[in-house]
Chain A
Amino acid sequence: MKLRFNREEMADALRSICAVAAARTPKPILRCVHLEAKSDVLLLSATDLEVSVRCSVTQIEVDQAGEAVVVADTLSRIVSECNDELLSLELADNQVHIRGAGSHFQVVTMDAKEFPAVPAMVDTPDIAIPGKILKRMIEWTLFAAAKESTRYAINGVLWELNGKELILAATDGRRLSLSRGELETNGNDTSFKIIVPSKAMNLLARLPGDGDQPIGAKMTGSQLLLSVGTATIGTALVEGNFPKYEDVIPKDCDRVMEMKTDEFLGALRRAALLTNEESKGVKLSLSDGNLTLSSRAPEQGEATVSISVKYKGESLEIGFNPVFLTDVLRVTDAESLTMSFKDSNRPGLIKQGDAFTYVVMPVNLASA
């Protein structure tokens, strides 16, 4: 294998690769990137046996086709530290030589035959979603997914496809985030209900590509394949049953407040300044046209912040973990939002039209 490549394009591709290649693993080959040079394309792939990514670099000149396996992180750092426009890469004596103007790196390789198979999107994907919309939906939901819950099913994001409607939902048992979007095409009228691991969702959100490009998706066996431009992500699915999200979205929230997103976010952040690990709750006191946020941390002090909101009705006091609210305010792009309540023991509901729904459970503030 011998070729020259455009350094910047390669560096971009390697960033996605490194997001997948396992950093610490008992199987060293999983730390590696698989390079395969064909006449006009260099294919890069990596896998941690759960999520895989495959992408291509096209600004290359191949002298000799072939394949090699090197530690992804090492190659990535070499490529990004160099400042040449072009670098050459050659496999000789089980070592990969990377040469720039004044530099020469020899990197040990591993046996390419041992590298696990990484799936590629061969056929046309069944469904296509506008990239902008899907990335948006991921941003709206992924943050709410559980991190290391023993209920494995909620460590991922639910994808529910029905006709042309796609629903993504995520929960960590304390809040739930749900977004709806419209597909561009749904070729075989596919419908499914699957749970995609957070790692794959993260990768998808970060893959380079302009937002107008559609993202293709296809189920093959127990894997979901996603294609963005020339890159393919393959992911195993999380087994288990995702909780019934319909059941936890309250339908009886009759106290509706409407507020400016950035004002609410600012007020929350200020009120959260006087919270600490044992008293993290912020109290929302709602009365006609006014929302007062207050917090109190023993031995630190108290904060009170008021903003004006659109609200009419009985006054209400309810506590929330401010993080659960700021999380969602950061990802929404609407100028104003509605948040509605039933009472101080029941969930709060934040909506941005039909596209986005967020349910968050209150904190019972310590009675003083």
Chain B
Amino acid sequence: MGKATIHRPRNFFLPDPQPGLYCSVGLEVARSLPNSIMPYGVSLYGHLLPENTGLDFCTKIELALETSRMSQESKIKVLPPLVVRKIAAGEVVERPASVVKELLDNAVDSGATHIAVEIKGGGKELIRVTDNGCGIAAHELTLAITPHATSKIVDDNDLFAIQSMGFRGEALASISAVSRMRIVSRTADDDEAHEIQVEAEAVRSSHATGAPPGTTIEVRDLFFNVPARRAFLRTPSTETGHINEQFTRTALAYPSVAFELINNGRTTHQLPACENRLERLSRFYGPELASAFMHTERDERDVYLDAYTAPPTHSRATPSWQYTFVNGRFIRDRFVQHAIREAYRGLMEPKRHGVAFIFLQVDPKTIDVNVHPTKIEIRWQDSRLIHSQVLSALRETFQQADLTPTFRARPHTPIDPAQQQQVREQMADLLKQASPIMPSQAPPSGGGFGSPSSDRFGAPGQMGNHQTSPTSQWEALYKPNDPQQRDYEYDGSPQSGIPLSPLSPDQPQRAIQLHNMYLVSETDEGIIIIDQHALHERIMYEKLRDRIATGSLESQRLLLPETIKATDAYQALIEEHDQLLATLGIEATRFGDDSIAIHAFPAILKSIDVPLFITDLLDRLSNLPAGTTTEVVIHDLLDMMACKAAVKAGDALTDLEIEALLEQRHLVEKSSSCPHGRPTTLRLSKADLNKQFKRT
């Protein structure tokens, strides 16, 4: 029997943990779902459960209640109603964008053909959604804001065949609990409209007024009574970005409805009703991408699929341009995501993500929408069917589009990652078997790689003076087939006493390049194998980091600014992160309604496709987990820049380049931090080699 406590986590808004909320439970919580936005913590046996356990708050309380009943220890108290409302509101209304989502859902459900969204101050000051739908009758208005009042379902059977966007009767009530709300509505049959004003669940006024048929819901001062939550809202531009995303999702799902978005008095989106999805996609993502889309349509086994996928050349750094809709609802679904990834596999680099818009229509009875507070996840009756339908349909489309030749036409033979991995593993195995490098086993192995011994140490400036004399002495006496003598000659040599320095015994003397990918070099202790890209990337990273520590990166101003298409959200991102971008040597500004202009670009990235780089960068910025510190972001972006600026696997290097790369190796060795933990160097000691050749 353990103790369960409900905690107030970082961004929770309850004043203090309620004393009545303590209870004892005796069961393990095993269920765990990703992507939940659950802001509460519950501790079991004194351990705080991760915030994303996916259990909503009510479930947690129910759990606690039930188990405590079982254990006959009743310390549970029922929460006061307003606290319950605020808790529930916290589930549904996380930020202004959630309000926009709920109101848009309602507007769509009302059968409207035109929906306008107006926001001010990132939705913190005002959110107003106006539709021309069926409206709410005057006498039902107050009911609409009552918890669990809904026109959308009647009994629990309907719950498992949900046709509408909303069904819980939770949205308006939740929003009204944490804002000042005004609803004006008129049904087509009524002659006049009715208006009510609500503040924190209390109806302040209710009267008749004039308005066209339809509903207008105004939400002002969101979280005015929940200061903690309000304080945690991000800048207006970030919140606007989130609202934009919600707006985009709904507008993409309902092309036949005209949508309008007005931000601070400026119309940012004016979308007329369209005949097809492509037209709407084109409005959001530009005609260039829209014309590249491959269309897939398939109706099989009660799954209707309508998909727009971009060729791999339009791949992105993050999966944020993959949208899945089921019965008009935007969802995140790992089965569909996996199917998309599988379909694109082999067509693009492993870390890239395809652009895909998937619209599914299934029998509402075969899905459960009621599994997530914001309905962003659903449960399938037959997830395998969905996965296989999406995958096979996309595969078919890709095969017909014959996407493969563009990859064969690449200038360098692509490196088979499997093969690369295999080599790595073999090397790793070899190292595992081998004994650790002994400092005393220092003599250089002779004649490695067939280089004439006379110039084995010929690379000038790499060996310190203090090493010259023992080397030549040793060379004069060296006989390749006499290991005995080698050991003898080396015993007690001054070299073994040299402290670790940039000129450590491990410093490679000369290297050859294999497969345009690895540098292999002889060292005093054996041989080392270097991944050229990994090494260069880390050297670049270290240097960039040093630069950042003392100021900003060198930035080449552009004579002709580069422009890229960008959504409002991305435009907002560059404004939000302008300091950070300046540090990196990037100067970008909003350009017109739908573009970003880049005026300056880091000088080190000279042969990089500027628009592509900035797009990748913005993709990353837009996917930062909440609470990421600037330091982590810079680390991430420097890493990305280093990766782009570094030589690639497959680049042939000249001797001079190899030499320069090896000379800078000490920069990496000095540092303890490592950008992403990938090794740059494998070492094979002479002892390892001897063992492998059974020379012991």
How many residues does chain A have at the interface if contact means C-beta atoms less than 8 Å apart? 32
Residues of A within 8 A of B559 (CB): 171, 173-176, 248, 347, 359-361
Given contacts A150-B611, A281-B603, A298-B546, contact A363 B556 (CB under 8 A): yes
**Shortest beta-carbon distance, A99 to chain B, in Å?**
39
**Docked CA distance A360–B607 (Å):** 17
**Docked CA distance A150–B313 (Å):** 13
**Shortest beta-carbon distance, B484 to chain A, in Å?**
43
Residues of B within 8 A of A222 (CB): none
A56 at the interface (CB under 8 A from B): no
- A366 lies within 8 A of B547 (CB): yes
Given contacts A173-B562, A278-B604, A280-B603, contact A364 B557 (CB under 8 A): yes
Restricting to A116-148, which residues have a CB under 8 Å from any CB of B? 147-148
Q: List 18 A-B contacts (CB under 8 A).
A: A173-B558, A173-B560, A174-B556, A277-B604, A277-B645, A280-B604, A298-B543, A319-B554, A321-B556, A345-B557, A347-B559, A361-B556, A364-B552, A364-B554, A364-B557, A364-B600, A366-B547, A367-B552
**Docked CA distance A366–B562 (Å):** 22
**Docked CA distance A368–B553 (Å):** 10
A247 to B, closest residue via Cβ: B560
Binding site for A on B (CB under 8 A): 540, 543-544, 546-547, 550-560, 562, 585, 600, 603-604, 607, 609-612, 645, 667
Residues of A within 8 A of B550 (CB): 366, 368
Contact of B551 among A154, A362, A366 (CB under 8 A): A366
Chain B proximity mask over A161-184: 1 for CB below 8 Å, otherwise 0: 000000000010111100000000
- B551 lies within 8 A of A367 (CB): yes
- B554 lies within 8 A of A368 (CB): no
Binding site for B on A (CB under 8 A): 147-148, 150, 154, 171, 173-176, 243, 248, 277-281, 298-299, 319, 321, 345, 347, 359-368
**Shortest beta-carbon distance, A40 to chain B, in Å?**
44
Contact of B552 among A154, A359, A361, A366 (CB under 8 A): A366
Residues of A within 8 A of B645 (CB): 277
Query: What total of A-B pairs shows CB separation below 8 Å?
Result: 79
In the A-B complex, the 4 residue pairs with the closest CB atoms: A361-B557, A367-B551, A364-B555, A366-B551
Given contacts A248-B560, A364-B600, contact A278 B544 (CB under 8 A): yes
Task: Pick from A321, A361, A366 the residue with the most CB of B within 10 Å.
Answer: A366
**Shortest beta-carbon distance, A245 to chain B, in Å?**
10
**Shortest beta-carbon distance, A240 to chain B, in Å?**
13
**Shortest beta-carbon distance, B36 to chain A, in Å?**
41
**Shortest beta-carbon distance, B643 to chain A, in Å?**
14
**Shortest beta-carbon distance, A31 to chain B, in Å?**
17
- A298 lies within 8 A of B547 (CB): yes
- A361 lies within 8 A of B558 (CB): yes
Residues of A within 8 A of B546 (CB): 298
**Shortest beta-carbon distance, A8 to chain B, in Å?**
34
Contact of B609 among A150, A154, A280, A361 (CB under 8 A): A150
Given contacts A363-B603, A364-B600, contact A278 B557 (CB under 8 A): no
Having A171-B559, A277-B604, A359-B559, one finds 7 other A-B pairs with CB under 8 Å, namely A150-B611, A277-B645, A278-B604, A364-B555, A364-B557, A364-B600, A368-B551
Residues of B within 8 A of A280 (CB): 554, 603-604
**Shortest beta-carbon distance, A215 to chain B, in Å?**
29
Residues of A within 8 A of B552 (CB): 364, 366-367
**Shortest beta-carbon distance, A319 to chain B, in Å?**
8
Residues of B within 8 A of A148 (CB): 607
- A321 lies within 8 A of B551 (CB): no
**Docked CA distance A368–B551 (Å):** 5
**Docked CA distance A345–B547 (Å):** 21
- B604 lies within 8 A of A366 (CB): no
A297 to B, closest residue via Cβ: B543
Residues of B within 8 A of A281 (CB): 554, 603
**Shortest beta-carbon distance, A66 to chain B, in Å?**
36
**Docked CA distance A154–B540 (Å):** 30
Residues of B within 8 A of A345 (CB): 557
**Docked CA distance A321–B585 (Å):** 14
Residues of B within 8 A of A359 (CB): 559
Residues of B within 8 A of A366 (CB): 547, 550-554
**Shortest beta-carbon distance, A366 to chain B, in Å?**
5
**Shortest beta-carbon distance, A212 to chain B, in Å?**
36
**Shortest beta-carbon distance, A347 to chain B, in Å?**
7
Residues of B within 8 A of A298 (CB): 543, 546-547
**Docked CA distance A186–B275 (Å):** 54
Contact of A174 among B547, B558, B604 (CB under 8 A): B558
